[in-house]
Amino acid sequence: MLDRKIDIEPYVTHLMVAGAALWLAALLLGFAGYWFEALLVTVFVLHPYFIVGAAHDHEISLKLLAYPLGVFTVLALAGFGLAQYYSELFVGQTPEFLVTGMHPSFAAVFWLYWIGGFMSINLAYGLYYREHYLPDGAWDEFLAELEEIEGAEATPSAESPSGSTTEAAEVE
């Protein structure tokens, strides 16, 4: 079921606009005093950029949407939800307990969002690197493409003066 791939090429512009709109929504919500809602929106700000960045040949595997992106989303929402819960529970008072030396609301964000969420993304990079991020042959294709571009730049075109390439090489 998760072995399918989605072609994102027709959606790249929409994803970039969505990312910008989510940033704007988070800012506006924050300025309006809705900090919790702004936090929830920021969880989804990373999604469009992750999808575009993790795609290879304009395709992304459903595996990458489930793990790490799905796991990151659940952990981040849980962390922010617990932060809201504990901040309301202990408003105007010192909590009777600390979680690893931190206020429970901050500990939830620290452990679930920062450590759990971002560690899951880093772990997935290690697990899926060869299969999805840089499949076999992709690096060689990239190097061949670079050599082709460099070869085209080194060859003087008919429109350019004949000595311009030589002068540029002498300056280096």
Of the candidates 102, 19, 8, 105, the one whose C-alpha atom is nearest the C-alpha of residue 64 is 8
b/e burial code for range 51-80 (CB count within 10 A of at least 16 → b): bbebbeeeebbebbbebbbebbbebbbbbb
Angle between helices 118-128 and 71-89 (to 10 degrees): 170
Tell me the pLDDT tens digit for each residue of 131-171: 776 777 878 888 899 999 998 888 766 555 555 554 445 55
Output the pTM of the full model.
Answer: 0.74
Tell me the pLDDT tens digit for each residue of 101-129: 999 999 999 999 999 988 998 888 778 76
Q: Hey, where are the domains in the chain?
A: 5-156
| Type of residue numbered 37 | E
